[in-house]
Amino acid sequence: MRGKLDGRVAIVTGTSPNIGGGLAAALAAAGATIVAVDANEANARDCAKDIAAAGGRALGLACDVTDEGQVAKVVATVCERFGYVDVLVNNAATFNRKGLLTTSLAEWRKQCAVMLDGAFLFSRHAAERMVERKRGVIINIISTAGHQGEPGNIAYSTCKSALLNFTRAAAMDLSPHGVRVVSLTPTATAFDEMRVRAERWGHALDLPPNLDELMQPFVRGIPLGRLPRPSDYGAAAVFLASDDAAMITGTDLRVDAGAVGRYWAWTPGA
């Protein structure tokens, strides 16, 4: 039985054992060849090894997404190795959990560089190759923090919001060339799949011991009653990357269990 993405080559940036690893695994299960890209070489390498162990085809490459030379080299390597690139998932991000009054200019610039410069550089270089073939899909990973004013997360929220309009503008630029640009919005995410994936990769997770307790406000506030998992986002990414979504561009798909859509004064389950 053919997968929806058989014969396609997908670059995924930010392939930690959490969301990025889940996206890469889902695209691979649908038949895509995966190029796992991460600033942490172990994340890129072990994501690719895990996909290969499951019967998929994958390559892991370390890359600083803010360095244009490194980005250009990754895209060139992908095209030399596999011939082309069909799908780009811009997922690379960095966190510091600080607000307006506590974020330094250096911290602000670092986060903007990873999330905005990184998405721009990879989109620019991958799109040049996609335009040559008159086909391709770019998927930008947002966050519910990009749709709402989250306190104590100023740079991350701002960058994710900016990526929403980057998606729309890039979609208009590339639509005459047969290339689609869309975005996918995750939310607070269940950690069970990440724990299993990290154990399989042999990665130690630096998580607070009371993590499940800390996540309870998110669980209580989500309309569908449970937090999404990376595999939920992966299923949506496969759809967006496939021919099933051939008429979808310049828009966002929220896989947030209703988080953004709910009325602000309503607390589900209260």
124's tokens: 């620019």
Asked about 156 being catalytic, the answer comes back as yes
DSSP code per residue over 199-254: HHHTPPP---TTHHHHTHHHHHH-TTSS---HHHHHHHHHHHHSGGGTT--S-EEE
Q: Which of 98, 186, 190, 96 lies closest to 145, judged by CA?
A: 186
DSSP code per residue over 60-122: EEE--TT-HHHHHHHHHHHHHHHS---EEEE---------TTT--HHHHHHHHIIIIIHHHHH
**Triad 50, 92, 136: Cα angle to 5°:** 80
Report the alpha-carbon distance of residue 60 to residue 145 in Å, rounded: 29
- Of 84, 156, 233, 263, the active-site residue reads 156
Instruction: Please list, in sequence order, all residues whose beta carbon lies within 8 angstroms of the beta carbon of residue 24, skipping any fewer than 6 positions away.
Output: 10, 12, 15, 34, 36, 47, 51, 58, 89
Interhelix angle for 68-82 vs 118-133, to 10°?
A: 30
How would you class 84 by CB atoms within 10 Å of its CB: exposed for 0-12, middle for 13-18, buried for 19 or more?
middle
186's tokens: 């995750």
Q: Amino acid letter at 39?
A: A
Give the active site residues.
156
